[in-house]
Amino acid sequence: MNSELYGTLVFELSRKGRRGCAVPATEAAAGAVHRALPESLLRKEAPDMPMVDEPSAVRHYTNMSTNNFGVDTGFYPLGSCTMKYNPKINEALASSPEIAGLHPFQPAATVRGALEAYYLLQSFLSEIGGMAEFSLNPYAGAHGELTGLMVIRAYHAERGDFGRTKVIVPDSAHGTNPASAAVAGLQIVETRSMPDGTVDLDDLRSKLDESVAAVMLTNPNTTGMFERRIPEIAEAVHAAGALLYYDGANLNPMLGVARPGDMGFDVMHINLHKTFSTPHGGGGPGAGPVGVRAGLEKYLPNPRVVKHLDGSFGVISDSDSALGRVTFWLGNYTVLRRALAYILTLGADGLMHVGPFATLAANYVMNSLNDLYKQPIPGPCKHEFVFDGLLDKSTGVTTLHVAKRLLDMGFHAPTIYFPLLFHESLMVEPTETESKETLDAFIAAMRKIAEEATSRHEQLKQAPLCTPMSHPDETEAATHPKLKWKDLT
């Protein structure tokens, strides 16, 4: 890391007269905009963009990248985020000059390869999810959730059943579930969790009536527990005329073990950036394909890739029964290519190991630490587990302190203070791509922190001590927001 450049903004490197690239343009073009448009339609001043040369810009951003932690940098046990290894061949195949120049509206006959790639991934995901068909359009997990709920609304609407305005979610659900339901125009009803984190079937039954459009579940749930009564849940939901929605956030441990469609789910989404190894990119772009069981295909959003009887592929953009359109075109194509490459690299056999290995890693870490950290739910867990802070609470060391101290030790922190079921939630998801040595190093770090909590807790509470920055003033940031370069002066 070049400490001289730490935190310097690209605007601060700007000097009048420098430029970062040469634009292909003819001399005739100079002044073309002013000749074509009246002054009243033009902006008064040019935007104040940085003026930097290419070497300086490259060094600036390269240095910036060294202030970041990624899966390639180290262990990233962020619960519910499935930070597995992002294979390099997927990156190599994701984008290429051949596909960079494909316009979404070019004739289907000139993009046969792209359409076949879509169709293949649709059918592969259908097989893995146990669903009849997938739409790859949604851009992220939250977008998939929203789209899936719209599928459900379109289904009820077509049957003339307009009274179904509620969605039931467990009280352990991720915040996206209620937010997606609200955007889809549905009201949220929470159902209670049992002490082991699974759904309280009696409570659920008491809330199922003709006003319920859907029940949304993750399985395993957000505490890492499998809903073992899922067949009964599905039966109760269907008996009430509602549909069962599978939030694919936790699909990873189910690979090779069980398929959501076989569990009785009607609609699901998959976070390709979790289970199918596409990179998270610091928060996108992702992909949240939505799958449906047989009978619900026609509600999937426009446009859809279809295979004609003659074996050729086409795009349908104007199906009336569809819920509508939720994207500009067919989703994040380069993200979808990565997922396709991942499935083909692992193949049918390799995919069978993903879930069991992820579950093994989580159970191994949990069983190596539950003598020092409070395990609120008896195991075995699935791909992730929750600790409710340290066993010994007398020192006042909280989950936040543990998380920050892990940063000092070269690990990314687990997910903290989620799920909301416990006060000191610390949620660990190691994934199947971490070696035993890495898991052992993490276990050692967690044990050392537990030891520090007794021996030197006042110092521990100051963590992180070794990161490039620490203890940002978040209250000031939110009270008097400075959100752009010009707010700083």
Minimum distance between the CB of residue 413 and another protein, rounded to whole angstroms?
5
**Out of 240, 268, 326, 426, which residue is the one contacting another protein (CB under 8 A)?**
326
In DSSP terms, which residues pair with 245 in a beta bridge? 216, 267
The residue from 121, 131, 225, 233 that contacts another protein (CB under 8 A) is: 225
**What minimum distance in Å lies between the beta carbon of 195 and another protein?**
15
Interface residue with another protein, options 156, 166, 259, 401 (CB under 8 A): 259
C-alpha 307/C-alpha 122 separation (Å) is 11
Q: Binding to another protein by residue 102, rule CB under 8 A?
A: yes
Cross-sheet strand order for the sheet of 425-428: 385-388, 425-428, 415-416
Q: Quote the DSSP letter at residue 388.
A: E
Token digits for 482?
């400075």
Among 135, 363, 395, 399, binds another protein (CB under 8 A): 363
Pattern of binders to another protein over 172-211, x per CB under 8 A? --xxx-xxxxxxxx-xx-----------------------
Q: Under 8 Å CB-to-CB from 125, ≥6 apart: which residues?
A: 131, 134, 136, 270, 289, 291
Q: Evaluate whether 349 touches 397 at the Cβ level (below 8 Å).
A: no
Choose one: 144-152, 289-297, 384-392, 446-454; the region binding another protein (CB under 8 A).
144-152
Of the candidate residues 418, 427, 452, 460, the single one contacting another protein (CB under 8 A): 418
C-alpha closest to that of 197 among 439, 412, 376, 384: 376
Classify burial at 228, counting beta carbons within 10 Å of its beta carbon; exposed 0-12, middle 13-18, buried 19 or more: exposed
* Residue from 77, 279, 291, 419 binding another protein (CB under 8 A): 279
485 binds another protein (CB under 8 A): yes
Structure tokens at 266: 């009607």
- The answer to the question of residue 2 lying near another protein (CB under 8 A) is no
Residue 92 or residue 239: which is nearer to another protein going by CB?
92
List the Cα angle 69/75/77 in 5-degree steps. Answer: 100
Q: What is the nearest approach in angstroms of another protein to the Cβ of residue 233?
A: 12
Report which residue type is found at 400: L
Which amino acid, 193? Answer: S
Amino acid identity of residue 118, one-letter, is Y
Q: Which of residues 331-360 bind another protein (CB under 8 A)?
A: 331-335, 337, 341, 343-353, 356-357, 359-360
* Local structure of 216: helix, strand or coil: strand
| Token pair of 300 as six digits | 């999937």
Which residue from 32, 239, 316, 444 is in contact with another protein, where contact means CB under 8 A? 32
Q: Does 309 bind another protein (CB under 8 A)?
A: no
> Ramachandran region of residue 213, left (φ > 0), alpha (ψ -120 to 50) or beta?
alpha
Torsion angle in degrees (nearest 10) through CA of 53, 58, 64, 68? 160
Under the binding rule (CB under 8 A), the answer on residue 329 touching another protein is yes
Please identify, using beta-carbon distances, which residue of 368 and 454 lies nearer to another protein. 368
Position among 4, 23, 160, 309 found at the interface with another protein (CB under 8 A): 23
Cα 269 to its chain centre, rounded Å, is 11
Q: Using CB under 8 A, which of 121, 128, 168, 421 touches another protein?
A: 128
Instruction: Please give the Cα distance from 228 to 233 (Å, whole number).
Output: 9
387 binds another protein (CB under 8 A): no
At closest approach, how far in Å is the CB of 441 from another protein? Answer: 13
Report d(CA 2, CA 8) in Å as an integer: 11
Task: Name which of 361 and 455 has its Cβ closer to another protein.
Answer: 361
Distance between CA atoms of residues 222 and 97, nearest Å? 41
Among residues 206 and 467, whose Cβ is nearest to another protein?
A: 467
Give the nearer residue to another protein in terms of CB position, either 334 or 454. Answer: 334
Indicate which single residue of 4, 40, 310, 311 sits in contact with another protein (rule: CB under 8 A): 40
240 in contact with another protein (CB under 8 A): no
Are residues 260 and 226 in contact, defined by beta-carbon separation less than 8 angstroms?
Answer: no
Q: How far is the CB of 276 from another protein (least distance, A)?
A: 12
Which residue lies nearer to another protein by CB, 448 or 471?
471
Among 37, 239, 316, 444, binds another protein (CB under 8 A): 37
